[in-house]
């Protein structure tokens, strides 16, 4: 018996999409915890946002409701704004400290 019974189901059900999204989200969380490069951490955050978007679209299609896809549209706009501001902050940090290694950014510690 598999964890979600996704292999027993002959057709693609919502459980397949939940499993795929959960796996992608977990990979994103792992990347955020694993890497030291701040830009790669940003990419992993994008991966997590995309897994949630995929799940919203799947539920929207399975429920025959357009509202979920509108939410995904808004999430994409917020993600674009977030990436622009975040990368600008990273470039400013790099200009001042010449590194974007998150373990080196300890100015607030003492």
Query: What residues from 75 to 94 belong to the interface with another protein (CB under 8 A)?
Result: 76-85, 87-92, 94
Scanning residues 6 to 35, which ones bind another protein (CB under 8 A)? 11-20, 22-31, 33-35
In whole angstroms, the minimum distance from the beta carbon of 46 to another protein comes to 7
44 binds another protein (CB under 8 A): yes
Instruction: Give the Cα separation of 72 and 12 in Å (integer).
Output: 21
Beta bridge partners, 62, equal: none
Instruction: Give the Cα separation of 7 and 35 in Å (integer).
Output: 33
Question: CB count, 10 Å around CB of 103?
Answer: 7
52 binds another protein (CB under 8 A): no
């Amino acid at each position: 018996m598999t964890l979600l019974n996704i292999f027993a189901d002959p057709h693609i059900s919502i459980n397949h999409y939940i499993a795929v999204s959960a796996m992608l989200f977990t990979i994103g969380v792992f990347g955020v915890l694993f890497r030291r490069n701040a830009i790669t951490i940003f990419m992993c955050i994008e991966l997590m946002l995309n897994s949630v978007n995929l799940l919203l679209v799947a539920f929207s299609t399975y429920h025959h409701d357009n509202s979920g896809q509108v939410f995904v549209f808004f999430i994409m706009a917020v993600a674009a704004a977030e990436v622009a501001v975040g990368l600008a902050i990273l470039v400013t940090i790099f200009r001042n400290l010449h590194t974007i290694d998150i373990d080196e950014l300890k100015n607030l510690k003492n």
